[in-house]
Amino acid sequence: MSKQPRITILFVCLGNICRSPLAEGVFREVLREKGQEHLFEIDSAALGDWHVGQRPDPRSVAAARRHGLDISGQKCRQVNPEDFRHFDLIFGMDRGNIRRLQHLAPPDTRGRVHLFLEYALGRPEEVPDPYYEDEESFEAVYRMIREASEALAERLAERALSVCRSGQASSTT
C-alpha cells in the first residue's frame, strides 16, 4: 500500500512548552472537526533546549483543558536540521523565533518559515511569549491560536483537497 501524502506543518516557539504545544493541539483539533486530520502531519518544537523531554507548561495544559482539549501527552523536543527538509510549513510564534529559524534554515528552505499569525490571518502580528505572564495571557494566547488555526485550515483547504485526491489516486494504482 502506498503512503498517504500529507501536508507537513511544524509549530515552533522558544521553549516548546507554552505556545507551540497549544498550536499543535488546537490546529489538530480544528482539522479533526473538519475530518481532515489524516491529510496533515503536525508537530511542534523548541528553539532552546531547556525543556527537552518535558510535558507542556501546566498553564498551557489548563488553558487547553478549559476549551475541552487535552495537550498533556505532548513532549518538548528541539528543532533539528532535518526539520527544514521534512516540513512544508514551519511557523514561528514571534519575530525572534523567525530570526532564529531563518538563521538555522539551509538557504533553499528559508521560504518554508513564516510568522504564524501573518501567514494564517494576513496580519503581521506575533503570538507573545506568555512564560512570565498570568493566566489571562495564556487565555489570550489560546484565543489567538484558535482564530489563526481556523484561518490556516481555510487557507490550506485547496491544498488539502489536492492531497486527498492524489492519495485516492495512488491508493487505486
Is 129 annotated as catalytic?
A: yes
Residue in 19, 59, 112, 146 annotated catalytic? 19
Closer to ligand 4NP by Cβ: residue 50 or 85: 50
Is 13 annotated as catalytic?
A: yes
CB of 97 to ligand 4NP, least distance (A): 8
Residue nearest to ligand 4NP (CB): 15
CB of 1 to ligand 4NP, least distance (A): 37
Is 43 annotated as catalytic?
A: no
CB of 12 to ligand 4NP, least distance (A): 9
**Best CA proximity match to 138, nearest among 62, 68, 84, 81:** 62
Closer to ligand 4NP by Cβ: residue 14 or 163: 14
Catalytic residues: 13, 19, 129
